[in-house]
């Protein structure tokens, strides 16, 4: 397409394009064709008012374009993320990093793969030898931005080797899974950004936690994924938590 028509959602920096909507329709259509009617939680369907509640029913959780801002600007990290949950447990996840042309996938108990090669998290335990990813998200209220930057400053000054961010949560999680970085955390992400990545990180030997150190909750809009507990807990010490509305809030 010569021109991408950009629309906004929750804020003026929360972008969506016709491509997001089209890709989601194509994915849901082909899943229905292949596997019959099912339950779907898709980023753009939810934006249009569909429910975002994870039940025990077999459920597909879809982000058609993760990294929409990158897509709009031509910043070369964009992913498609598809996960499948049964009884509220994630069974498998697939992340396709479109411009790198890399297909990441994992199934519960069966390991994680990138283009059919097994992948594993890094074995770094020393926070001073780590690279950490976080993102700024799409909420620009000054109090939240201050907390995000304060957290980043503290982490940078631990010190760590570096702070990064690809602009797509799904790709960030795959970077944890391959061992390119030690951890990725964010407050403000949605279930469709991280559902597939969660299976991939776990199956690559990593862990997922809430940003307060409690158990990971897919619908809470906050999480840290890391190569191991030592790194995760060290980062958690620095995270300044701010409130977000859950994905499944009524």
Annotated binding residues for Mg(2+): 43, 63, 66, 193
- Map residues 20-59 to x or -, x wherever contact with ligand IPD holds by CB under 6 A: -----------------------x----------------
**Binder to ligand IPD among 68, 97, 122, 130 (CB under 6 A)?**
68
Name the segment binding ligand IPD (CB under 6 A); options: 30-38, 63-71, 143-151, 209-217: 63-71
Question: Sheet harboring 112-114: ordered strands across?
Answer: 39-42, 59-66, 79-86, 89-97, 102-107, 112-114, 117-118
Cα dihedral sign, 47-57-186-124:
negative
SS3 62: strand
Residue labelled with tokens 């009884």: 87
Residue labelled with tokens 């930057």: 149
- Asked if 54 contacts 83 with a C-beta cutoff of 8 angstroms, the reply is no
Name the segment binding ligand IPD (CB under 6 A); options: 94-102, 121-129, 161-169, 225-233: 161-169
Query: Does 206 engage in binding with ligand IPD (CB under 6 A)?
Result: no
- Asked if 6 contacts 15 with a C-beta cutoff of 8 angstroms, the reply is yes
Query: Does 188 engage in binding with ligand IPD (CB under 6 A)?
Result: yes
Rounded Cα–Cα distance for residues 169 and 189 (Å) = 8
Name the segment binding ligand IPD (CB under 6 A); options: 98-106, 122-130, 188-196, 208-216: 188-196
Query: Does 135 engage in binding with ligand IPD (CB under 6 A)?
Result: yes
| Residue 226: both structure tokens together | 């890391």
Least separation in angstroms between residue 118's CB and ligand IPD is: 25
Site of interaction with ligand IPD (CB under 6 A): 43, 63, 66-68, 135, 137-138, 167-169, 186, 188-190, 193
């Amino acid at each position: 397409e010569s021109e991408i028509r950009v629309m906004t959602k929750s804020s003026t920096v929360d972008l969506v394009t016709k491509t997001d909507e089209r890709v989601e329709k194509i994915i849901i259509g082909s899943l229905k064709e292949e596997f019959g009617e099912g339950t779907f939680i898709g980023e753009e369907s939810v934006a249009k008012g569909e429910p975002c509640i994870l039940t025990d029913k077999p459920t597909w959780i879809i982000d058609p374009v993760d990294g929409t801002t990158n897509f709009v600007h031509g910043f070369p990290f964009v992913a498609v993320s598809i996960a499948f949950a049964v009884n509220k447990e994630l069974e498998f996840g697939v992340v396709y990093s479109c411009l790198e042309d890399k297909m990441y996938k994992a199934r519960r108990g069966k390991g994680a793969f990138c283009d059919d090669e097994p992948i594993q998290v890094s074995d770094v335990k020393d926070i001073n030898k780590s690279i950490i990813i976080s993102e700024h998200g799409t909420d620009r209220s000054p109090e939240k931005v201050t907390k995000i930057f304060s957290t980043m400053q503290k982490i940078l000054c631990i010190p760590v080797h570096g702070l990064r961010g690809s602009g797509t949560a799904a790709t960030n999680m795959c970077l944890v899974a391959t061992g390119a970085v030690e951890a990725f955390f964010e407050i403000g992400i949605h279930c469709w950004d991280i559902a597939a990545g969660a299976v991939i990180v776990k199956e690559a030997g990593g862990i997922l936690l809430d940003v307060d150190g409690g158990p990971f909750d897919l619908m809470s809009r906050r999480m840290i994924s890391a190569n191991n507990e030592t790194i995760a807990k060290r980062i958690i010490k620095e995270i300044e938590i701010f409130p977000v509305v859950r994905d499944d809030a009524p």
